[in-house]
Structure 1
């Protein structure tokens, strides 16, 4: 079992979203609601190893498949090509392997969602569902296919509580790569984006899947002093991702303002931003994940490109020994910042490099 480290650094405390996996089936999952909160205001309690639940859910999913479907969805652990086969491009521009969501029965879809619920936190699961649902707002055409049906599932290796394996799910603008090894789970790299970035849900409410992430980043850049801001704000217009699909070997770029140059209050704001990504995982794995990040917070940098107003049209990046986060708004169809590219990586643990030996 992993050690339950106290998540405390000098002058800074870190809070986590906690809670067990949701149990709703796909047919009864409500339409995406308001964006999830990034952090709770209470420390995380120690929780049991979640790997057995993830493995049980994965095996239950496999049990719903036909022999042909099992062959299509399962890949050898040694298949490094499939491990890294993901993209934010829509169907029609990128060919994925595995099983397509729209070709599964309702029972099979429910079984797969149970895998995601066991692996992710309730807030992380909700965020992913909101990003996913956004794709239904786009119109297919010109050979490009949009919608929730065009997402793909792959299992690399055999679900196990002891030996490493990976589940992979994704499509246009959201991908999760989850490597499971013993008690450890690594969710890197994952693509955390959305198009549209804001839409009306089935209940009539406005849904912003990444709205809390933007708010956290804006709070941090707004807190910077006149002397600090030039170190963090490196350009007047947004840039696109540096660490997106196909950039697995790119070395971290430590640009911007270092955590060591922030006040205690500003470090808390930086941790709040990072925890919006770190708590994508279930409570157990989020706790140890955020402890890793906090231990290297002074060597973690925050960079910003674009206006420092709350227009949502700026790029930000967090780069440290244990984390890379990027958020890049794109202008599409005349609407600024309604198309978000985003990435979440761990330079030491992408595809579970640090936990699989």
Structure 2
């Protein structure tokens, strides 16, 4: 059980739908700060309240469409990075919701995610508006889907699922615990302009990974760098049963400063979830950091067209440039998993 101190308010400040995500980029919270942050109250009651408030905005037909039984393992694993037209999702499509219903759902995401995590997801989501539709494929924020698996509860397990092209969040809630794995963390384009500002949804993640690579000695790079060109995801959609591939340089072979850099990179993903659950999440990863590996495929430059992977007993992270649709560095596929807790396996019993 995680430590908790002062109560936090369960109210949510809504970010009203305005047709775009927050435009400013942000930096990852340093891992040391995240792990030692003051404990807060259990977030689950606020998540449940926000989800029930969302359900209250729906019609009877919409409730039937969005709700699935907890035993529906097919729906739990029904997600993809492919755009509408190449993959059929179930639930409620964002473009078919009213503004009130959209804002009610954003409240669910806001209370489940951290402020930085919510900003990242909104920026990834808004990036899809930059892509032109054509050839039967459909891009844009309207083509994202919501599903609820199980009944929102502060005691028994359930899952909310949201996603579409290049970004999916699977959130399993069980008692006081929240697990955001597996989630797809990607973006196309990886850099765009919104309201006159440059937006890079994954910019801080790339910067952290490149900083870690740059800190390695020649001998350490000989372990970490596994190839001269980027590779595709190993652990993407449909790869739930694939065993972790431990390659690269182990945390045990890093200096204390390099371990801090590795944790800062990981925090870009671990801090997607709310502050309470993020502290416990980073503690889990830090406890097995010596057995966690960092691998790099591609040029050892800052151009952004390289693949990296973090693999440990409690985390799998992948960042994979894609050649389709322009410059590889501007089209990123990514994954975030926990080998022991995907779909809440470790917390749902």
TM-score (structure 2 length as normaliser):
0.95
* Post-superposition offset of 1:47: 0.4
Per the alignment, in what secondary structure is the counterpart of residue 332 of structure 1? coil
* Post-superposition offset of 1:25: 3.3
C-alpha contact (below 8 Å) 2:81/2:168 kept by paired residues = yes
C-alpha contact (below 8 Å) 1:331/1:338 kept by paired residues = no
C-alpha contact (below 8 Å) 2:3/2:39 kept by paired residues = no
Is it true that 1:252 corresponds to 2:244 in the alignment?
Answer: yes
What is the distance in 2 between the residues matched to 1:22 and 1:328?
Answer: 34
Per the alignment, in what secondary structure is the counterpart of residue 169 of structure 1? strand
Query: Which 5+ residue runs of structure 2 have no aligned equivalent?
Result: none
What is the distance in 2 between the residues matched to 1:47 and 1:36?
Answer: 23
Match of 1:216 among 208, 211, 232: 208
Q: How does 1:1-357 map to 2 (within 5 A)?
A: 1-3=1-3, 23-27=13-17, 31-40=21-30, 42=33, 43-201=36-194, 203-357=195-349
* Post-superposition offset of 1:36: 2.0
C-alpha contact (below 8 Å) 2:131/2:139 kept by paired residues = yes
* Post-superposition offset of 1:26: 2.4
What is the distance in 2 between the residues matched to 1:107 and 1:83?
Answer: 26
What is the distance in 2 between the residues matched to 1:20 and 1:206?
Answer: 33
C-alpha contact (below 8 Å) 2:20/2:126 kept by paired residues = no
Q: For the structure 1 residues 20 and 28, does the alpha-carbon distance in structure 2 shift closer, same or farther, using more than 3 Å as the test?
A: farther
What is the distance in 2 between the residues matched to 1:30 and 1:147?
Answer: 11
TM-score (structure 1 length as normaliser):
0.93
* Post-superposition offset of 1:339: 0.5
What is the distance in 2 between the residues matched to 1:244 and 1:128?
Answer: 18
Indicate the RMSD between aligned Cα atoms, in angstroms.
Answer: 1.6
Per the alignment, in what secondary structure is the counterpart of residue 333 of structure 2? strand
Per the alignment, in what secondary structure is the counterpart of residue 24 of structure 1? coil
Per the alignment, in what secondary structure is the counterpart of residue 55 of structure 1? helix
Per the alignment, in what secondary structure is the counterpart of residue 343 of structure 1? strand
Per the alignment, in what secondary structure is the counterpart of residue 280 of structure 1? coil
C-alpha contact (below 8 Å) 1:332/1:338 kept by paired residues = no
C-alpha contact (below 8 Å) 1:19/1:283 kept by paired residues = no
C-alpha contact (below 8 Å) 1:21/1:120 kept by paired residues = no
C-alpha contact (below 8 Å) 2:11/2:46 kept by paired residues = no
Q: For the structure 1 residues 21 and 228, does the alpha-carbon distance in structure 2 shift closer, same or farther, using more than 3 Å as the test?
A: farther
Moved more, 320-329 or 37-46: 37-46
* Equivalent residue number for residue 12 of structure 1: none
Per the alignment, in what secondary structure is the counterpart of residue 184 of structure 2? strand
* Post-superposition offset of 1:28: 5.6
* Post-superposition offset of 1:34: 2.2
Per the alignment, in what secondary structure is the counterpart of residue 241 of structure 1? coil
* Post-superposition offset of 1:32: 2.3
Q: How many residues align?
A: 343
